[in-house]
Structure 1
Amino acid sequence: MMNLKSRKTGSELRVGMKTICSERCKEIIKILLTEEEPLPASEIAQRLSVSTKTIRNDLVKVEEFLKQYEAELKKKPKVGVFIEATTDLRQQLFSVVRGKSVYVQPYSTQERQRHITKELIQSENPVVLQDLAERFFVSRTTIYHDLKRIENWLSRFELTIEHEAKGGVFVKGSESSWRKAAAELLMELKKESVPKNRRSSEGGVVYQRLKSDDLVQLTDLIPDVDYKALEEILIETEVHHLDCKISYDAFVALIMHLAISLERIKRHKDIQMMPEQVEKLRKHKEFEIAQEIARKIEQVFSMTLPEAEIGYITLHLLGMRLLDLSECIDDDGQILKTVEPEIIDVTYKIVELVGYVLGVTLTDDKTLITGLSIHLRTTIRRLQYGLSLRNPLLKEIKQKYQSIFGAAWATSVIFEKELNLKITEEEVGYLTIHIGAALERKKEKSKVLVVCASGIGTSQLIASRLTRNIPELEIVGFLSVSDIDRYEPEEYDFIISTVPFSKSEKPVVFTDVFVNDESIHQIRDTMESLKRPLLNENMEGNAANNLFYKEHLYVRQNYKDKDALILQIGNVLRDTGFVTQEFVESAIGRETITSTMVGGGVAIPHGESKYVNVPVVAVVTLEEPIDWMGEQVETVFLLALKFEQEQETRKFFAKFHTMLESDHQRQALLSAKSKDEL
């Protein structure tokens, strides 16, 4: 491909353009570059308010000009004309006809959509599609596709994109929804790295808490705010009114909220709050702190904050994550005295349930009880008031602790039964961190005997494979079958053997000397089962399997999206009497609030338990993965559980965790070709 820069300079290109083509020719090229389908000359003429004959004459000049740059004007008889060129060349031609001498690096699809979303959020007037197409060097069809994705994202906040007859678009919805979307957009932008040349110290202003990258993203979306003054107000609030320092993420989230509020108040976009809710918030000490913050803002920014704004500041203070109180108070007992008894009670119920699911005892871990109870105090407040908390580690948590994340979802039983609250995946992620840390503290190696018939070389080969692939395994010794009795049963947990034998008090995993991947899976499964004596004992009678019915196992299905899957399978459960219509609606509704993707390509959508007639779990494996709020899912468990039937629900989540823990089992599910195999 010929490089535009190597043929002529940007200045020469512009001169050449003026010599060969008129300004109208430039407009024709711009129009054709933003269309993916052939365009009739009559339509181009209509857009430019000239005759069709004039356009046909101009197209001759356009064709000659495009040939210089290895682009071609194609004509389809009775259909129209279009420009044939690579994506890169189209973008370079855009720079030429717009009079730019420097080639602009194209945006990725995600970057382009993020910029368009930012513009829609910022703009008080409709955004013109043609302007977007020209600015991002893409066709209007591409912009239409972008808007569909953006509208899907905005729908999470009950916002829509409205289209004007003149080709403009704008965001429509309530003020509270708009603010939630703006805050979420800032949180997503916060995760993106900022180029070094855009990092700013704002004219030498030194910030104590705000990081440079976060400041850039804030000022990009909401530029006319004194962020240094906001930072000073919050730091002073920390020092004089709070027991502990605010965590950095919570600090930034509150700065974002205040900046958005100030910008909207300047535009006379006041937010509303019911008087009875304001009165309810007055009972919290945080309301007084919010009043103090509002008073300082009014002094510094010379504006009046309505009482509803003070109410929303209170909500943020109620839902904030403070740094762990253990950093402020040394004694666990003293820390727990600061927590309400009912929250400590819920904490123990959660820890007991998760311990059951994981097959370990966690209630004796005081660090877990203390840290989790402090965390739950703000978690419950956030859920009660409908506040969202962005978890920047969520993706990594799902990848590193996917089975624990799945087990933590079991706590939805307690949140819904005890507190009448729906937990979000963001909050489940934070619970997973606490549980994962507790498991790390309890981690012990599994002890094994290795039985083999060959010599030391074979033994070393087996040892090498085992220690490399399963570091949490401790090899007690290598021996022959006849020497097993030399070890007391309490000295080891199970046996790995390369030779067959039948008599053993402990489990035996048979393998060849190369310890292949299948053997590794079997060893890991054995280690997991031995960690779960409580579960194995309580699973007698196979109660959890009573939740599965052959007619509700669906193998290698095809669905366009998650809503279609939940709707169709949910309707089948409704028609067969397991659930009511309200269950299906609540399951779909939950997905608009939070994703139920738990990691490992598995999702567990579920509706409200009060709409379940008979508990059931429908299992769906997919021919092709589907998008589940930005992640790929290939196995779906649609849960219709009665949370008041705790034992049945516990046992399901225990077995579910075992499946999540094992790549081998998940792959076996996907490989099933029939309901019987599944």
Structure 2
Amino acid sequence: MLSKRQIGILKLLELGDRYTGEQIAGMLGVTARTVRTDMRVLSNTLPTFGAFIDSKRGKGYRLILQDSEAYNHMKMQTQEMEDQSDRVTKLALLLLQRKTYLKLEDAAETLYVSESTIKNDLKVLKKDLERRGLTVITKPRYGIRVIGSERQLRNVYRTFLEADTTIPGLKGQLYQQLRHLVVSVLQEEDTLVTEIGVDNLVIHIWIASERMDAGLVADISKSDKEHLSRLKEYQVAQKLAKSVGNVLGVELPTDEVVYMTMHLLGAKSVSYEDKGMKDFTKVVNSRIIEISASLLRVADEHMQLSLANDNELLSGIALHLKPALNRFKYGLTIRNPMLSEIKQAYPKAFDASVLMGKKLQELTDVSINEDELGYLALHVGAAMERQESQRVKKRALVVCATGIASSQLLYYKLQARFSGRMEIAGTCSAADLQRRSLEDIDLIITTVPLPETLSKPIINVHTLLRDSDVGHIERIIADRLQTLSAYIPADHIFLQLSYTKRDDVLQFLVAQMEKRFIVPSNLLALIKEREEMAPTFQENFVAVPHPIYPVMDEPVVLCCTLQRPIDWGGHEVQIIFLFCVPKQYNEGLQQLYESMVVFIEDRQKVKQLIQAQDLAACLPLLS
């Protein structure tokens, strides 16, 4: 079935209009690349359910329905899958809003479902809460209750609060009033906080008020209270607490003011516009700059990204770490709404951020979560994009029979069609080609036959450049997506394994690697180390484990499916792709990443691969 985001795209297209990828991206708040990936999934999936996507270059996408009944049935199935997730979120909020027990019959009545349904949902929720460090207690005749430190409870409460897309509170008038108040106080106190930082503060205030209503106050140590109450941010927090108290009709105790001070320290930012990139050393202490430089050196050492001398990246990492280290110190969480997209769009950058997070832990003794890693990956991804924009485009030499009129005609057609993506290095006749050096040329576009012994790729085209010629050139110069089958031969696929534990699966796959390739003796340890930093679960029952840093000369992918789902960092997984990327990054590797994303996003294909009993059923799904 489709993801919630893909259903959102369909709802837009159901209006009957044609939308471009950029328009859809803007309306859904995602990147154009994400929309393109979703469109590939929809194009592959919808024909099975009586619909297809009509796509026209420059005009956008349109939904065509051929069998409304089959299409609506598919949407209903998707909604049923989402319903339990929504109920689990609401059940979590009911539990985390109180310090007393919640009776099952009360929960069932509140959520308009049966007690048996609540019991099933509770099994899912209990596993999730325990993974987050909380304890679920069930007491006969009393009900259920969640136990943990107040800081843990608030962090988890926030996660579920933001996950509940139907909750009116975070969209309501009171929330907007609080946000406006917070922004006003911060401006009056000349305290610069990012938009995400402001949202963190407002959500913290919202949660604090609800917890105080239940008689629960922040737990602050004596040492933290003494230290933080002497800072300037504490004075800002006092003013905020007074203003907020007037709106909510409550008086925030000292511990809540101190806790708000922690959030301020974790949210404060530095304006690039006000300070200028070159002045970041004036607002970030030398220790943080040294740490940032160390993180970049680690990324360069293992990922060969050539980033250590990128001063713009260094300043971005340092300015991010300044408030982030305060968040780590006080155990505060910051949500990264773009995390899933970052991991898909910039997998290499995210892996680099994992290495940086490991180094940061060594240097500061703080543990960094996936959301923070995602923000580091954004900085790295931006630097990689800057590098890409500076690379020389593919240079083509145009060859025609005479090298005069016909070559000039083709030259201008190519310039108009591939401007910005291909540089025409010049034109010449077939005779002149023998005397011309090809060292500065990436490909030859010709209207006449040429000897195949030339050292560069040759593309034969018509002088008038027909559509088939354009497609041929596109395949050479563009980042054309290949299917997974191009990277996974049949003897790298293992179906319906009976393993029930993650480590046993990893041990099996590594053993298969050792039979086929020369691999480091500690490959299994490197894969487990990567899992400890951030689980490699993607979505739709798929995990993509890989070593914490590249160890191979060429990309290698092994695939296995399991008879039953297993736990993988708190998520159920039934398909595993062991992913060993090469030490040197290249365009082919990006194609592999993108083809993996396209497959994982296609719930129908994932489901069929899980059910496949033999290679005959499996291989077409990877094609």
TM-score range, shorter chain: 0.5 to 0.7
Q: Assess, with a 3 A threshold, how the Cα gap between structure 1 residues 597 and 339 changes in structure 2: closer, same or farther.
A: farther
Task: Look up the SS of the partner of 1:448 in the other structure.
Answer: strand
Residues 319 and 378 of structure 1 are in contact (CA less than 8 Å); yes or no, is this contact kept in structure 2? yes
- Kindly report which structure 2 residues correspond to 1:169-248, keeping only aligned pairs within 5 A, or say none: 169-189=144-164, 192=165, 214-216=170-172, 230-231=178-179, 234-244=182-192, 246-248=193-195
User: What is residue 314 of structure 2 aligned with on the other side?
Assistant: 369
Percent identical: 23
- Kindly report which structure 2 residues correspond to 1:99-498, keeping only aligned pairs within 5 A, or say none: 108-123=83-98, 125-130=100-105, 132-133=107-108, 140-166=115-141, 168-189=143-164, 192=165, 214-216=170-172, 230-231=178-179, 234-244=182-192, 246-281=193-228, 284-294=231-241, 305-320=252-267, 322=269, 325-329=271-275, 331-351=276-296, 354=299, 361-362=306-307, 365-442=310-387, 443=389, 444-449=391-396, 472-476=421-425, 483-484=432-433, 487-489=436-438, 491-493=440-442
Shift, 1:417, TM fit: 3.8
User: What is residue 29 of structure 1 aligned with on the other side?
Assistant: none
1:501 to 443, 448, 452: 452
How many residues align structurally? 487
Residues 444 and 459 of structure 2 are in contact (CA less than 8 Å); yes or no, is this contact kept in structure 1? no
Residues 155 and 332 of structure 2 are in contact (CA less than 8 Å); yes or no, is this contact kept in structure 1? no
Residues 99 and 214 of structure 2 are in contact (CA less than 8 Å); yes or no, is this contact kept in structure 1? no
Q: Assess, with a 3 A threshold, how the Cα gap between structure 1 residues 475 and 581 changes in structure 2: closer, same or farther.
A: closer
Q: Assess, with a 3 A threshold, how the Cα gap between structure 1 residues 628 and 452 changes in structure 2: closer, same or farther.
A: farther
Could you list the runs of 5+ residues in structure 1 that have no partner in the other structure? 1-87, 89-104, 199-212, 220-225, 528-552, 610-616, 640-651, 674-678
Task: Look up the SS of the partner of 1:337 in the other structure.
Answer: helix
Shift, 1:313, TM fit: 1.8
Q: Assess, with a 3 A threshold, how the Cα gap between structure 1 residues 110 and 259 changes in structure 2: closer, same or farther.
A: same
* Mapped partners of 1:664, 1:495: distance in 2: 29
* Mapped partners of 1:633, 1:468: distance in 2: 45
Amino acid at match of 1:564: K
Q: Assess, with a 3 A threshold, how the Cα gap between structure 1 residues 471 and 254 changes in structure 2: closer, same or farther.
A: same
* Mapped partners of 2:421, 2:287: distance in 1: 38
Amino acid at match of 1:214: L
Shift, 1:390, TM fit: 0.6
Q: Assess, with a 3 A threshold, how the Cα gap between structure 1 residues 638 and 453 changes in structure 2: closer, same or farther.
A: closer
Counterpart check, 1:569 vs 2:506: yes
Q: Assess, with a 3 A threshold, how the Cα gap between structure 1 residues 337 and 451 changes in structure 2: closer, same or farther.
A: same
* Mapped partners of 2:303, 2:418: distance in 1: 22
Show CA shifts across 1:47-103 (max 9, x none): xxxxxxxxxxxxxxxxxxxxxxxxxxxxxxxxxxxxxxxxx9xxxxxxxxxxxxxxx
Shift, 1:654, TM fit: 3.9
Task: Look up the SS of the partner of 1:108 in the other structure.
Answer: helix
Residues 597 and 633 of structure 1 are in contact (CA less than 8 Å); yes or no, is this contact kept in structure 2? no
Show CA shifts across 1:486-533 (max 9, x none): 6555643455799663453xxx44778768999977766899xxxxxx
Shift, 1:578, TM fit: 6.8
Task: Look up the SS of the partner of 2:217 in the other structure.
Answer: coil
Residues 183 and 256 of structure 1 are in contact (CA less than 8 Å); yes or no, is this contact kept in structure 2? yes
Q: Assess, with a 3 A threshold, how the Cα gap between structure 1 residues 433 and 515 changes in structure 2: closer, same or farther.
A: farther
Task: Look up the SS of the partner of 2:373 in the other structure.
Answer: helix
Residues 402 and 598 of structure 1 are in contact (CA less than 8 Å); yes or no, is this contact kept in structure 2? no
Task: Look up the SS of the partner of 2:130 in the other structure.
Answer: helix
Residues 404 and 657 of structure 1 are in contact (CA less than 8 Å); yes or no, is this contact kept in structure 2? no
Q: Assess, with a 3 A threshold, how the Cα gap between structure 1 residues 376 and 164 changes in structure 2: closer, same or farther.
A: same
* Mapped partners of 2:498, 2:418: distance in 1: 38
Amino acid at match of 2:378: I
- Kindly report which structure 2 residues correspond to 1:598-609, keeping only aligned pairs within 5 A, or say none: 603-604=544-545
Q: Assess, with a 3 A threshold, how the Cα gap between structure 1 residues 423 and 439 changes in structure 2: closer, same or farther.
A: same
Shift, 1:470, TM fit: 11
Query: RMSD in angstroms over aligned alpha carbons?
Result: 5.5
Could you list the runs of 5+ residues in structure 2 that have no partner in the other structure? 1-71, 73-79, 462-467, 482-490, 515-519, 550-554, 600-608, 616-623
Task: Pick 1 or 2: higher relative contact order, CA cutoff 8 A, min separation 6.
Answer: 2
* Mapped partners of 1:295, 1:289: distance in 2: 10
* Mapped partners of 2:432, 2:163: distance in 1: 61
Amino acid at match of 1:316: H
* Mapped partners of 2:430, 2:591: distance in 1: 29
Task: Look up the SS of the partner of 2:560 in the other structure.
Answer: strand
User: What is residue 662 of structure 1 aligned with on the other side?
Assistant: 591
2:561 to 623, 631, 637: 623
Residues 97 and 210 of structure 2 are in contact (CA less than 8 Å); yes or no, is this contact kept in structure 1? no
Deviates more, 1:263-272 or 1:231-240: 231-240
Larger radius of gyration: 1
User: What is residue 645 of structure 1 aligned with on the other side?
Assistant: none
* Mapped partners of 1:511, 1:228: distance in 2: 59
Residues 404 and 435 of structure 1 are in contact (CA less than 8 Å); yes or no, is this contact kept in structure 2? yes
- Compute the TM-score of the two structures, normalised by the length of structure 1: 0.56
* Mapped partners of 1:599, 1:430: distance in 2: 24
Residues 465 and 515 of structure 1 are in contact (CA less than 8 Å); yes or no, is this contact kept in structure 2? no
* Mapped partners of 1:318, 1:367: distance in 2: 24
* Mapped partners of 1:664, 1:173: distance in 2: 39
* Mapped partners of 1:193, 1:458: distance in 2: 62
Amino acid at match of 1:239: Q
Amino acid at match of 1:237: V
* Mapped partners of 1:605, 1:480: distance in 2: 50
- Kindly report which structure 2 residues correspond to 1:626-641, keeping only aligned pairs within 5 A, or say none: 634-636=575-577
